[in-house]
Amino acid sequence: MAGSKTYDPYEAWKNLMINWEKQANDVIHFWTNSRDYIKWSQGATDLQLRYLEMFQRNQQLLLTQLQLPTKKDLANVAKLSIQTEEKLDALEEQLWNVEDAIESTNKQVGSLTEVSREAVKVIKQLKTEQKRDKKELETIDEIHFELLEIKRELAEMNSLKEEIASLKAQLAGSKQDKEKELAALTK
Amino acid sequence: MATKTSNQTVLPAFNYEKELERWTAFANAIMGPELGANHTPRKQVWAKNKATLWHYAPAEKKYDIPVFMIYSLFNRPSILDFAPGSSVMEGLVNNGYDVYLLDWGIAGYEDKDMTIEDYIADYIPKAVKRALRHSRTEEVSVIGYCLGGTFAAMYAAIAEEPIRNLIVATVPIDFSVSVLPDKWEQELKESGYNADRLIEVFGVIPPAYVEAMFRSVTAPIYNSPYVTLLTRANDERFVEKWKRMNKWNSGHVPLTGGAFRQMTTDFFKENKLVKGEFTIHGQKVDLGKITANLLVVSSKNDTLIPEGQSLPLMELVSSEDKTYLSVEAGHVSLAMTGKLNGILEDWLGEHSK
């Protein structure tokens, strides 16, 4: 139905109650906002507290006579457990420091291990190089020996050459002698 | 059968079945089983006394700097993980942050002497150290909501741990601005109001008193949620949301006597934080020492923490990068509706690179 709205009695009641509540609260604040009310309120509180104090005193007396712990006794025990908790907390925090120290030591040890691992690697490399050098040295020794051999052989060849030269000279001398003998014979 | 009135308003006929459904849903919402809270997966990292440090692992890690959250002492932090789809925790986790939440737990009688100083000095730095160690990072972003924001700011002023970003939402800093009726305020600040006797009798202030304290300031009569529930009881999604909100709303926690004394005397009465007179175990809290990137978020419709309580922080800090945002939201709806998520996604994303 265009233009018409449904009446909700609950909604109307709600609006009425909310307005009433607001006005009632305003009235209460207005009435209680006075020195007289405050004095009366303090008097009522004092009276209530006086009765409660009396009750507490009597209860404590009774509990003491019955050898039973009072609320204060139980509170004292609870306070001891709170103190223990605080000590445990302090210990935990100290353990944090130890934990942190161990962690940093572990880190240092880790870096030292890393360094020593590097050193081992370098030593291994050096050893390999040393082996290689040794082999090279052996090769050089062999070459040196061979050179000496060649030198010796060359020296031997030189002496052979000299012998051949002297034989050659002897042969030339004997040839001349023979020619002289032949010339003498032919004459 | 509907009846049409002369001014075009249709009066619906009485629907018996619909009304039965409405009243059944209303009764179930109030008396039925409660819905579970804290749906985002989390793991406990550390615990001390009643406090627990929770870790919410990111869906897919995008940022190295983790987020450390501090909530108020008055209520449970489950409002930060309200419901799937409207959870601050879920939003941060989905955006790729490691999130840590310091949950104060529920104080017992043995904690009656614990002061605000103890909460800040004995719990927050230890929890932040653990968060840093757990996430293996050097810096952290601290987020504080409501009174948790005040704690975060005070911690940031004395912290030895490196804080990159400080985000405070609906944070009370300047207690000279008050939402109390003027005569109450006058009585609290000028007369010799002393909470010592109350603290001595109770030790820890009972949750009912904490709730009454807030109700008396905001709305002493508070029936409107039930009226709204009955009006919309046929809407399943609304009923679910209402149940979650109601559970959180009625989940006030006891407040230690020591903290209550400091709050009334050092904050409300003497406004020591703004004056630079508040000390934590002898160390002066100078908000000027805060140098972290700062984001302050206020809600325009906040009836508990008006903007005037948060705004002075902007002038007190030494941060070079500081932003103030005033959002159209209420004290709780800022977190609950996902508005804070959008703000965090933009600002924190830029400042966590």
Averaged pLDDT score across all residues of chain B = 91
Q: Is A86 on the interface with B (CB under 8 A)?
A: yes
How near does any CA of chain B get to the CA of A109, in Å? 22
Is the pLDDT at A181 greater than 90? The verdict is no
> Nearest residue of A to residue B193 by CA position?
A42
Pick the CATH number of B38-224+253-351 from 3.40.630.30, 3.40.50.300, 3.40.50.10800, 3.40.50.1820: 3.40.50.1820
**What are the tens digits of pLDDT across the range A9-18?**
899 999 999 9
What is the per-residue pLDDT for A47?
94
Q: Do B228 and A14 touch (CB under 8 A)?
A: yes
More confident residue, B44 or B181: B44
Question: H-helix or E-strand containing B49?
Answer: none
Residue of B49, B133, B181 lying closest to A33 (CB–CB): B181
Q: Do A35 and B187 touch (CB under 8 A)?
A: yes
Mutate one of A5, A11, A17 to test the B interface: name it (highest B CB count within 10 A).
Answer: A17
Contacts of B222 in chain A (CB under 8 A): 21
- Using pLDDT thresholds of 50, 70 and 90, give the confidence band for residue B16: confident
Q: Do B223 and A75 touch (CB under 8 A)?
A: no
**What are the tens digits of pLDDT across the range A135-145?**
999 999 999 99
For chain A, state the CA radius of gyration.
63
Compute the distance between CA of residue B69 and CA of residue B102 in angstroms, rounded to an integer: 6
Residue of A13, A17, A34 lying closest to B183 (CB–CB): A34
Q: Is A89 on the interface with B (CB under 8 A)?
A: yes
Question: H-helix or E-strand containing B80?
Answer: none
**What are the tens digits of pLDDT across the range B48-82?**
999 999 999 998 999 999 999 999 999 999 999 98
**What are the tens digits of pLDDT across the range B129-144?**
999 999 999 999 999 9
What is the per-residue pLDDT for A160?
93
CB-count burial class (<10 Å; 0-12, 13-18, 19+) for B144: buried
> What is the arithmetic mean of pLDDT over A94-112?
93
Compute the distance between CA of residue B260 and CA of residue B302 in angstroms, rounded to an integer: 22
Q: Are B321 and B350 in contact (CB under 8 A)?
A: no
Contacts of B227 in chain A (CB under 8 A): 13-14, 17-18
DSSP code at position B232: T
Contacts of A29 in chain B (CB under 8 A): 181, 220
**What are the tens digits of pLDDT across the range B227-266?**
999 999 999 999 998 998 888 888 899 999 999 999 999 9
| Inter-chain Cβ pairs, chain A and chain B, closer than 8 A | 94
Q: Do B183 and A33 touch (CB under 8 A)?
A: yes
Backbone CA torsion sign across B113, B114, B116, B118: positive
Domain locations in chain A as residue ranges: 11-68
Is the pLDDT at A104 greater than 80? The verdict is yes
In this structure, chain B runs to a length of 353
- The percent of residues in chain A predicted with pLDDT above 90, rounded, is 83
More confident residue, B297 or B218: B297
Domain locations in chain B as residue ranges: 38-224+253-351
> What is the arithmetic mean of pLDDT over A41-55?
93
Compute the distance between CA of residue B228 and CA of residue A95 in angstroms, rounded to an integer: 56
Q: Do A5 and B109 touch (CB under 8 A)?
A: no
pTM (predicted TM-score): 0.83
Residue of B109, B182, B219 lying closest to A71 (CB–CB): B109
What is the per-residue pLDDT for A142?
94
- Using pLDDT thresholds of 50, 70 and 90, give the confidence band for residue B191: confident
DSSP code at position A34: S
> What is the arithmetic mean of pLDDT over B24-45?
88
What is the per-residue pLDDT for A1?
45
Averaged pLDDT score across all residues of chain A = 92
Residue of A32, A53, A78 lying closest to B181 (CB–CB): A32
ipTM over 0.85: no
What is the per-residue pLDDT for B5?
56
Which range, B37-46, B237-246, B308-317, is most confident? B308-317
Q: Is A11 on the interface with B (CB under 8 A)?
A: yes
Q: Is A98 on the interface with B (CB under 8 A)?
A: no
Contacts of B181 in chain A (CB under 8 A): 29, 32-33
Contacts of B220 in chain A (CB under 8 A): 25, 28-29
Q: Is A34 on the interface with B (CB under 8 A)?
A: yes
How near does any CA of chain B get to the CA of A107, in Å? 17
- The percent of residues in chain B predicted with pLDDT above 70, rounded, is 97
How near does any CA of chain B get to the CA of A18, in Å? 6
- Angle between the N-to-C axes of helices B124-135 and B147-158, in degrees from 0 to 180, rounded to the nearest 10: 80
Q: Hey, what are A28's tokens?
A: 């209460």
How near does any CA of chain A get to the CA of B304, in Å? 15
Contacts of B160 in chain A (CB under 8 A): none
> What is the arithmetic mean of pLDDT over A41-59?
93
Q: Is A73 on the interface with B (CB under 8 A)?
A: no
Q: Is A39 on the interface with B (CB under 8 A)?
A: no
